Amino acid sequence: MKSTGKIIYEVRMKKGISQEELAAMAKVNLRTIQRIENDLNEPRGTTINLICNVLQIDQHELKPQVEENDFGHLVQKSINVIFTILLNVTIAAIIVYLTVYDNANIYSRIGAFILCVLFPYFIVLLTRSSTSLMRLVKFGTGFIFVIIFLLFQVKMSTAVLSGAILSSLIGLSILFYGNLIQLKK
């Protein structure tokens, strides 16, 4: 995967500009240019604008690009997909177990409800930059599985009275509308 630093390095070399010249023209510290090109720092807004102006490139060209032969990137993506699937299946299984099965009592149902509130809340905290729809698709699939499973595999009265459907709908709502939650900084 081509990093921002690698792209800046390649453009700078094509234009025949040294790191010292780039630093002087962009009015940025030489050490900053070195750190960016060595992928030790990710440039911030002002710095990236100054460098892009000097190199005469669009800021969007600096987004990391996937190289064709980047096997590590494919492995990382595969691991992320497998983890997300396992996470959703686990959440769905826990909710169903805590609410529907014979040994489910009021305390286990309250635990499932708390899980359906806290899990999405922490996901929202960790994925603030994601869109609501992407977050819903990635992390809400387990809740959707619970609803579908209960509607087709369990009596309707059991599905509704167990609280699993309501808890899952609340979890989905938090995932989707989570960006509207105001957090103190």
Same domain, 91 and 139: yes
Same domain, 41 and 126: no
Domain CATH number, residue 42:
1.10.260.40
Amino acid at position 98, single letter:
L
Tokens of 135: 């977050």
Same domain, 55 and 93: no
Angle at 4 between CA 24 and CA 77, to 5 degrees: 170
Can you point out the beta strands (E) in the chain? none
Please give the residue range of the domain that contains residue 19: 4-62
Same domain, 104 and 155: yes
Please classify residue 20 by burial: count the beta carbons closer than 10 Å to its beta carbon, then call 0-12 exposed, 13-18 middle and 19+ buried.
Answer: exposed
Tokens of 119: 């899990």
In the prediction, which pLDDT does 107 show?
93
User: Structural domain tally of the chain?
Assistant: 2
In the prediction, which pLDDT does 66 show?
44
Query: What tens-digit pLDDT sequence spans the chain (185 residues)?
Result: 578 888 888 889 998 999 999 999 999 999 999 988 888 887 778 888 888 889 888 877 766 554 445 566 778 888 989 999 999 999 999 998 999 887 889 999 999 999 999 999 999 988 887 888 889 889 999 999 999 988 888 888 887 888 889 999 999 999 999 888 765 55
| Residue 185 covered by a domain | no
**For residues 95 and 168, is the Cβ–Cβ distance under 8 A?**
yes
Place of tokens 């100054």: 50
In the prediction, which pLDDT does 154 show?
84
Separation between Cα atoms, residue 137 and residue 175, nearest integer Å? 9
Amino acid at position 172, single letter:
L
